[in-house]
Structure 1
Amino acid sequence: MNRLDWFIGVLFSGALLPLTSVAGSHGAGNPDFSSDQSTLVAIKEALVSEAQATESKVINTSWLDAQGQLHESLMVQSSMRVRGIQVQRYLDEIQKPRVEIALNDKQGLLPECFIKDDHLRRTVRILPAEMPQGAVTGLDQTLAASASLLSSKLFTYFNESDYWYGKGQLHKTGHYQSLVSGIRPNPARFELVVAVTKGTKPKDHKKKRVPGSDPVSLFFRGKPSVFTEDWMFMAVHLTKVKTGEVIWSATSNIRVPLRPVTYTSQQLPDAMMSQIQAVVNDWANTLDEYAMCQPVNFQLTETDGRVEIDGGITAGLAAGDRLLVIDGERIPSRVLEPGTLAELSLAQVVSVEADSATIQYAAGAQLTDATGKVALPF
């Protein structure tokens, strides 16, 4: 998986300096400023080291001269620009011999000092399925049953996943009230919407003939009491509640086989159930990959002088956890421009509720403006 490389660097840099209070240990108490400051410096050293490594490249050039002689040139090229005293200080620090000695001393304690964010889960709720407004001849029952099955299988996936935490589904009345009032009971950090409607037949698909529809059978037996082959279109999109950002979406067009005409509830054909299961498996793999590749991050908000994040016990947080506070826009590009290291903060979780937590300053830049900031486990 493409887990963020710089975050791996952070994990290994944790061994550079002795720490008495670490991210993997849960427990209340006042932050140890000297330890937190050392932790933050180690993180910054790792970030600078990663930038230095990724922005250097080796160019191997070969050419023939007029006499047919082969020439080769190996050139190391670096595009890294270091500006500002702070960044230069960290570059100087990682060159000191004491860092190498400390690294050797701490190698055995690395698993105990830092943990990955795999112990944290993203809370998600599946909203009521979206259905066509008007009747769809021959497909009404099939669409309703498919939407129910699809939502059920996705809910099962979230409940069994190591990376997601499924919240209880809202009834239509509760969903409507939350839209009107803006208040979401038992809030989740993400919401998933499932939509089903009539699909379109692929151009290269040859329509299956209805048994008994030949002229002779029609003359003697009349029109067969079956619905013809059709197609169903399924779509899902996953939204981050705080920002309204759609972080993932997917669609699938599946075949609805011939089925008898009935006006009572009937189980979906086995072929359709198998297709839906295959689609869910594919979507589940994509969601797992997203959760493993993207670091868990919690949105910061300021309320009455307190700084809160939109994650709590259900997300796996506990009092005493350390979090790195960073500009959320830096995560997708992974680029930290020179000077932005000075904006990083280290915070500690001081109290935690089911779906929220309060954090306080531990080291680095002061938490004076939470706009656009997110908190990352490390």
Structure 2
Amino acid sequence: MTNFWQNLPQPFVGMAPMDGVTDQPLRHILCKYSSPDLIFTEFVNVEGLCHNAKQLLRPLLYDGSQRPIVAQLYGKTPESFRQAAILVAQLGFDGVDINMGCPAKSVAGAGSGAGLIKNPQLALQIIKAVKKGVSDWQNGLSCSDCTDFSSDFCKQVEKQRQQAGLQPIKEIKQRSSIPVSIKTRLGHDSKDVGGWIKLLLEAKPTALTVHGRTLKQAYKGKADWEAIFQVVALAKEMNSDTLIVGNGDVQSRTEGIRAAQKHQVNGVLIGRAAQGNPFVFDKDTFTTSSTFHKQLATIALEHAQLFEETFSTQEKYSFLPVRKHLAWYIKGFPQASQIRQQLVQTNSSKEVEKVLSAYGLLN
């Protein structure tokens, strides 16, 4: 198995997966302007993939600047996870991650994401299925061998693989397995390190990311890093080889490294602090200078242009998803409220350029 986790710096600081946020354009921007040690896709629903929903391949777009990159999957059907793992491996990802931490009602309430904390036996079946999928890939299977994927869907997968700069699947001489990781929370209604977390460690994922809140907390209150340290202690007690990754309320690389060293995790993932901050993995603080604001505005326009370049030729294209990023970029600017009101009504990068130029934010 090619295990990129073993080659990461210790401690490492990576970009956490965020639904509707960590798409191809954002990942490209982050990797261009700062240096995450690893990066995750948005989560993708395995049942939807197995229903041949081509639009669900969009979150799995990436380019060579984004490595190492991990595809995150969510759902509740083990066989769909197995087939999706084969798809992820075929697309050339460096790893596959199972989401067992999303607290959204539409996800957890349906038994996926953090909802799996209440169904530990199903969680174990899913982990086993994903491991089987990456093993199946290594042993020669591909999307065309999966009963739920149509031939047309498989052609799109292979096309996307080659768009990422990879050789056609038929030219691969030797395949490698990819590592399986998990992202979860401390528990459902209350912390359950000795139960839920122990069960996951016994399944031996390559890495386990723990967000320092329960499902019940969602994103309220502060992340409990002392509880994350308890996870580290448990892993040591079990002689586990699983890397422990902390997540929750980390605002910068320096803060992340400090938290990792204090709580003895192998690394941390930064989430919401990356919104509108393309330097989050490099510079620790923003400045309020006009020069810096112009730099951010220029990157915001670049982000909008990249979004168009990536998605505008696809079916049901909409400029809407990038608007929130534009609003994040200009947070703290003079006249930010007025600029934001105009940016969230734009429908093209040309319109974005017009708004930013009107406020003297572009050179």
Higher strand share: 1
Higher helix share: 2
What is the TM-score with the length of structure 2 in the denominator? 0.20
Q: Which has the higher contact order (CA 8 A, sep 6+)?
A: 1
